[in-house]
Structure formats: structure tokens, C-alpha cells
Structure 1
Amino acid sequence: MHFVRLTHTHILIKRSTFGERASDAIAAFGGSWTFILIFFAALVFGLWSILKYSARSMRCSILIPIYFSINLMLSILAAIQAPIIMLSQNRQSAQDRLDTAIDRSVNVRAELSIQEISERLNRIEKMLAVTAFEGARQQEHHSDETKIVD
């Protein structure tokens, strides 16, 4: 069963396009703690640089356009990252559906095998019961013969 899953995943990766593989990689990185920490550090460093620059120039009016440009950069990042993550999620849901279909077929085959084994065991039990009954009957018949002889 594990071999089927590995082969199936390998086939899906082989059939995927460059864009699908890229969206998976971007979504994997964009949804990780590494990205969050790097992005947070870049944001803090950016804000620190802005405050340092504004303190040198002693003009607070420069903070307003820089604030809007940072807000614009964050909005653009979110606008670009969201569809890429959705593409990756759609691809993952398709892979999950295929995994479910494979698991179902494996379960059906296992159930059929279990039914076949159960039927064989029932036949063996019946044969053993008949054999045991005939053996008991023969033993009883043999004991009746020995009583008659005595």
C-alpha cells in the first residue's frame, strides 16, 4: 500500500507543470514560520530605517508618504501571494481526492479478500464439523459392537 502511494505522488509531481510546482514551493515558503520571521525582521528593519532617516531630516512630513508606500508594498505582497496560495491549495485538494480514490479501491480489495478468507474458513469449519461428527459416530458404532460382543 505504501508503494502505491509513493508511485501515485511521483506520477502527480511528474505530470505537474512548472507553474504548479512553483506555486507549491511559494505556498510552502509563504506559509512557513521562516517566511513570517524573515518578513517581520524586514518590516522592523524597514520601519527602523524610516524612523532613523526621519530623525535625521527632522521632518515628520516625510513619514506619511513612506508609511503609505510600506502599506502599498504589504498590500501588493498580499495580492500576489493569495492567488498563488489558492492555486497550491486547489492542486493539493485534487491530490487529496486522488488519494481518497486510491484508498477506497485498496479498501474494497481488502474487504473482498477478507470475505473470501471468511468463506474459506467457514468451509473448513464445516468440513471439520462433519469429520468430527462422523468420527464420533464411528466411535459410537464401534463401542456398540464391542458391547454386543461382550
Structure 2
Amino acid sequence: MTTDDEYFTSSETATPTSARRLNANSSDQRQKAWQKNINLLWQEIANHKNGTMFMNPIKKSYAPLYDKVVKQPLYLKTIKNRVRDGVVKTTAEFERDVVLMLTNSLMYNKEGTEMYLMALEMLDDVREQIRLFKSADSYSVSFWENETRQ
């Protein structure tokens, strides 16, 4: 009996179509597990002491030129929605969005200002959180690959 045969009843045989379905199911499981884990990372980032500053779009009254200077504004809630909606599907895409959100703030705010320093501090902390996540995620990816091969 092959490893694929374990997933089929006696009335089914392992066909290329059923093998693709099995791979699609394991891919869906991996994606759901990744989403669950990335949402935990998102929560850690949102709970950062400066996280509330990046939760929602900035009010025009606080930064009237923000839309003119920043071409791709991003906020924590937007990033969470992009993960939920399947726009962001990988850790690299998640990292890109979070880093862009914070570098937007660095670009808009004058160096040395309180907001600039908050964004810089959060960027350093977030990069470390993402590094740790990637390290743990590489273990889970190898786990899933081993599970689907058995």
C-alpha cells in the first residue's frame, strides 16, 4: 500500500486527480495554520507600546500632507484585513506590509520627532518579532512537509 492509498477507502484508488485533491487539502491546511500563526504575530505587533499609533488611518487634521507624501499608506487594521482576505498569503508579504507601514511614518515624519522615534523603535522590535516568527515557521513548514509525505 502506498502512502497516498492510506487516505482512500477500499472503493477508491489513488489517481492523479485524487492525489491533487490531497495536495490541495494539505496546502489549504498549511495556509490556514499560517493564517492563524500570522494573526498571533499581528496581535503581538498591535500590542506593541506604539502599536495604537499605527492601528488606523491618520486623521488629515494631524497630517494634512500625508496622502501627498505617502503613496501606499498602510495601517495595522488594513494589514489584518489583507491577511483575512487572502491578499497577503506569505510571511514575506506580511513583513513587506508591516515594514512599509513603519517606513511610511519614517518618511513622513521629521527625523528626531516623537513620531519618528516611535516608528523607528517599533520597526526594530517588529523586525526581531518577524525574525523569530520565520525561525519558528520554518520548523512548522518542514513539519507539514513531513506529514504530507507520510
Do Structure 1 and Structure 2 share a fold, with TM-score over 0.5? no
Between Structure 1 and Structure 2, whose CA radius of gyration is higher? 1
Higher relative contact order (CA closer than 8 Å, sequence separation 6+): 1
TM range (shorter): 0.3 to 0.5
| TM-score for both structures, normalised by structure 1 | 0.37
